[in-house]
Amino acid sequence: MKPVLVCFIAIALLVSTLPVLAQTQTTENIGFKWAFGSLVGKDRKFVSITKDTVLKTGDEIKLLVELTKDCYVYVLHYGSRGEVDLLFPYDLKQFDGDYNTGKNYYIPRGRSWIQLDKNTGTEKFYILASAERLVDLEAKIADYLSADASRKPSLASEVVTLVRDVRNRYKSFATLAEKPLTIGGNIRGTEKAEESRRPDVANIVSQVSASNFYSKTFTIDHQ
């Protein structure tokens, strides 16, 4: 076979595989909805948190996760005193049990809200989603949760460092779409919350579609 013909065939084969490779790299295998709401101030105004913000002692927060595809979503809190809380899944065994698409998982569960205490400072909330379980992160979280009080501060720092490492490891993967959803003709906004009827954070969800990995961090200036 002539060298020119061999070269032509090789180029043709390479070009024919490019669409397949591109499709593989942008496969939408992560899909979920999330919400992060807060009741702020004396009038308990209901606010959708979509970026870094300031909250004050006494303000209340609630989150929600709803899977639209089979993927693994983690929500972690790193507090102002250097503590780590696994907010979702509720425990690491949940991935093998009550973990289904189309179900609203409220954080905290039920109608309860998390009230910011008197320990002011910087607090971070991490939302991570992966097409596969993040077993190294899960192992580190398990170590932290089972450790005695003297070891928790150093292990908490290791958890946060690993979160950053995981984000850097997967930073080349794309978020295909992230947008607020409309329910009943109303774009997510702000309203005054009645004491007798707390707002449902399911009304302020955003939809995420991503390839292989997704992450988002909220920094709260707790005053």
Give the model confidence (pLDDT) of 135-159 as tens digits. Answer: 999 999 999 999 999 999 999 999 9
* Alpha-carbon distances, residue 46 vs 31, 104, 190 (angstroms): 26, 19, 5
Look-up of token digits 């449902």: 200
Give the model confidence (pLDDT) of 167-211 as tens digits. Answer: 999 877 767 777 766 444 333 334 454 455 789 999 999 999 999
Q: Could you tell me what percent of the chain has a pLDDT over 70?
A: 80
* Dist. CA 140–CA 85, nearest whole Å: 12
Query: Given pLDDT bands bounded at 50, 70 and 90, which one contains residue 17?
Result: very low
Q: What is the mean pLDDT of residues 115-129?
A: 97
Residue 190 pLDDT: 40
CB 218 within 8 A of CB 125: yes
Rounded to two decimals, the pTM is 0.82
Average pLDDT over the chain reads 86
Query: Given pLDDT bands bounded at 50, 70 and 90, which one contains residue 25?
Result: low
* Dist. CA 145–CA 142, nearest whole Å: 5
Q: Could you tell me what percent of the chain has a pLDDT over 90?
A: 74
104 contacts: CB under 8 Å, gap ≥ 6? 64, 65, 66, 202
Name the helix (H) or strand (E) containing 73: strand 72-78
Q: Does 92 have pLDDT greater than 50?
A: yes
- Among the residue ranges 4-18, 93-107, 147-161, the one predicted with the least confidence is 4-18
Sign of the Cα torsion 102, 108, 110, 115 reads negative
* Dist. CA 63–CA 88, nearest whole Å: 10
Q: Does 53 have pLDDT greater than 90?
A: yes
Residue 187 pLDDT: 32
Q: Does 71 have pLDDT greater than 80?
A: yes
* Number of helices (H), then strands (E), in the chain: 3, 13
Neighbours of 99 (CB within 10 A): 16
Between CA 182 and CA 190, with CA 186 as vertex, the angle to 5 degrees is 110
- Among the residue ranges 22-26, 32-36, 129-133, the one predicted with the least confidence is 22-26
Say if strands 72-78 and 121-130 run parallel, antiparallel, or are unpaired: antiparallel
Exposed, middle or buried, 198 (CB in 10 Å: 0-12/13-18/19+)?
A: middle
Residue 95 pLDDT: 97
Give the model confidence (pLDDT) of 77-88 as tens digits. Answer: 999 999 999 999
